[in-house]
Structure 1
Amino acid sequence: MPHVVIKMIEGRGEAQKQRIAELVTRAIMEGAGCKESSVSIAIDDVPAADWTSAVYRPEIEPAIDRLYKKPGYKPE
């Protein structure tokens, strides 16, 4: 039962979010070998000014050794 939470800087429309969810769902189904009904996806909009304090420092930085895809940036 994969559940994916995607945090992105705000500004994308509903159609774009739906497309992202569809593409991620397909990738999860293929990679995990599960049915579509097993996948759930949430998308959280984060203001750009809050990214470092709300996402990078509390979530990305402490988990850097567990990330299978690391970001190609480091906030100042």
Structure 2
Amino acid sequence: MPHVIVKMYPGSSEEQKEKIAQEITNVIIKHTGKPEEAISIAIAEVTEDLWIQEVYDKEISPNKESLYKKPGY
């Protein structure tokens, strides 16, 4: 606990993904006190042409009330 899934467009390098995962991990540790061993991070790439259909319509739009950060599009 917790497990975080980051969905983003393809194109980031493995180094960039590792840095993103580490920064998210650091924030979770800072604000929850959970140990690093308890945290898992996944990064799923979704192409731009599928973003609305696969991410926005299925995950963002139906769950707007529970989003702590809402998109501006």
> Which TM-score band (shorter chain)?
over 0.9
Structure 1 segments of 4 or more deviating over 6 A?
none
* CA root-mean-square deviation: 0.6
Structure 2 Cα separation of the partners of residues 34 and 15 of structure 1: 24
Structure 2 counterpart of 1:19: 19
Structure 2 counterpart of 1:50: 50
**Deviations 1:13-56, CA, capped at 9 Å, x for gaps:** 10000000000000011111100001000000001100000000
Give TM-score scaled by structure 2 length. 0.97
Q: 3-state SS of the aligned residue for 1:10?
A: coil
Q: 3-state SS of the aligned residue for 1:41?
A: strand
Structure 1 counterpart of 2:2: 2
Q: 3-state SS of the aligned residue for 2:70?
A: coil
Structure 1, gaps ≥5 residues long: none
Q: For 2:4, give the aligned amino acid.
A: V
Structure 2, gaps ≥5 residues long: none
Structure 2 counterpart of 1:29: 29
